[in-house]
Amino acid sequence: MNKAEESANQFFVIEQIEMSSESEPEDLEDLDDLNDIKHEEDNLNDLDKIITDVKKEDYIPKPITKTQDLKIPGLVNRLEVVDDFIRNFLIKNQMNRSLEVFQQEWYELSQKGKLATDGMGQVTDVYIQNEKLKEELKYVRGELDKAKIVAENAKSTYDKLRKERDFHKMHHHRVQQEKRKLNHDIDKLKGLHLQYETKYEELSQKYSHAMKEKMLLKLERDRLVAKNDALQRSLQNVEEKINKEKEPGSPTDKLPLVDTKANTKKASTKANTPFPPDDRPNPYAGTQIEPQNYRNAILNKTQKGHMMAISSMDMHPKKSIVATASDDFTWKIWTLPQCELIMSGEGHKDWVSGIHFHPKGSHLATSSGDCTIKVWDFINASCTHTFKDHIQPVWGVKFNDTGEFIVSASMDHTCKVFDLASGKTRHTFRGHVDSVNHVSFQPFSNIFTSASADKTISLWDIRSGLCVQTFYGHLNSVNHATFSLKGDSIASCDADGIVKMWDVRMVKGRSQFDAGPYSANAVSLDKSGTILLVGSDDQQIRLYNETTQKQEHTLKGHEDAVQDVAFDYNSKMIISCGSDATFRIYQ
């Protein structure tokens, strides 16, 4: 046979399969499926029979006595061939190249008949279960690690929460203790408040009785003074009569006896100074003064002038000199801008609240918390007058334009006018219902204004002793009020930081500026009457222009509340003083 015939007679073996009694053909699996179907049909027939029996009336269910009668379905674990186990192992571990090599070598050996598949056996359930158990063990260990991490986190969270609980518990106990202490203090203060209210009522009654007695005494004094004046005039008439009778030719035995001591006392008594006329002209009334430019003003000098807060100051009317009044019971005079000390005065027994130069610059008036007003003479370096008519602290003092009278503002709700020549009180102005914080004379006039804690500003006439006009509009205590140089405007400020400009002729407000929310303690006007300087509790000084109705500049530097502000006599410098015991110069 040739090669072609041999090749035609040859056959190729693709796969050799040997059937044995141990191995089951695929038909057996189909047979098992048929048996299962038949078994399910039998079960259905049995179920129909049971339903038919239940419908009968004489049906009695039979109890199940043996567990063998129940057919419980279960999972049948079949044995796995070794080669399938190896293939599954390689596939599971993704060993693809090893799988290809294993398949190739397996089929080659199978085709050559060198592979004895009969004696290989099968993988028992123990190995399969071991693999499953290993997987489950691995999974359980992973879950255990996660649970450990969660437990650690939970433990740390628990410790943190426990610490926070202990902290809040301690804080709660501390708050409770403080609450009990505060309640105890409140009860104690309530008791003291009741006691103080009782004492206050008693003192108020005593004060009212004392004021009534004082008023009666003043009325009695005025009556006696009038009687004394009448007696003095009668005595003077008698003396004139006697002098006429002493002329030549008159008998000498009719001359009466004259008490020389009484004449001496009369000669030493000084008469009251007449009030200035109302029609004296104001030289600045018709003039137009251009305002200075203060937009570029900066702090030039700082001087610590006292040991305690400087409550007030005043500029010399003709020189660059400033006088300061302090809570350390003293006043001092300084040169500007060198800040050299010229003179200092002591004599008050309490804080000095107000200070003002005489129009000629030769004297100085001060007011104090010791209820007194003192006038100091620079030439003799002495105190020439001490007025003690107020019964409560005096907040401010001012000379009139002639320098013959002084007006004061006191906490006793009154203002008083003192005559320097006679050393007496000429008038007491009553009308405010709270402390009078500041007074200021209208230039070249007998009218002065008073700023009160009752939220009003009043105008008074020193000749009649009556209130001329009252301005309403502030909503809190008015701390300061001053006239413009022309006398036609009033600038005032209150404890809310509100600054107002008032028209004296129209008796109404003209403009308003808000320097709050802190209290505005002092206000000053330049010579033009359009630039307002305001010192506040927020340590700042603000400049407002009434013409433009805007704030032009803010000056800083003080470390505490600004108590007083002023322009110097030629409006070239700005001076301020404050509770930081310093006065500062801005240029």
* pLDDT band at residue 246 under the 50/70/90 scheme: low
Q: Distance between terminal CA atoms of the chain?
A: 137
pLDDT at 110 over 90: no
Phi-psi region of 283 (alpha: psi -120 to 50; beta: other; left: phi over 0): alpha
More confident position, 101 or 86: 101
pLDDT at 385 over 90: yes
Average pLDDT rounded to a whole number, residues 327-353: 92
For the CA atoms of the chain, what is the radius of gyration?
58
Position 376 scores a pLDDT of: 94
Sheet containing strand 321-326, strands side by side: 310-315, 321-326, 330-335, 341-346
More confident position, 269 or 345: 345
3-class DSSP state of 117: coil
**Lowest-pLDDT choice from 108-117, 324-333, 521-530:** 108-117
Tokens representing 246?
A: 């002493």
Closest C-alpha among 509, 395, 499, 504 to residue 453: 395
Do the beta carbons of residue 155 and residue 163 sit within 8 Å? no
CA separation for the pair 279, 277 (Å, rounded)? 6
Position 563 scores a pLDDT of: 95
* pLDDT band at residue 9 under the 50/70/90 scheme: very low
Q: What phi and psi values does residue 249 have, to the nearest 5 degrees?
A: 95, -10
Position 265 scores a pLDDT of: 39
Phi-psi region of 35 (alpha: psi -120 to 50; beta: other; left: phi over 0): alpha
> Model confidence over 47-64: pLDDT tens digits?
566 556 545 545 455 544
**Lowest-pLDDT choice from 190-204, 264-278, 388-402:** 264-278
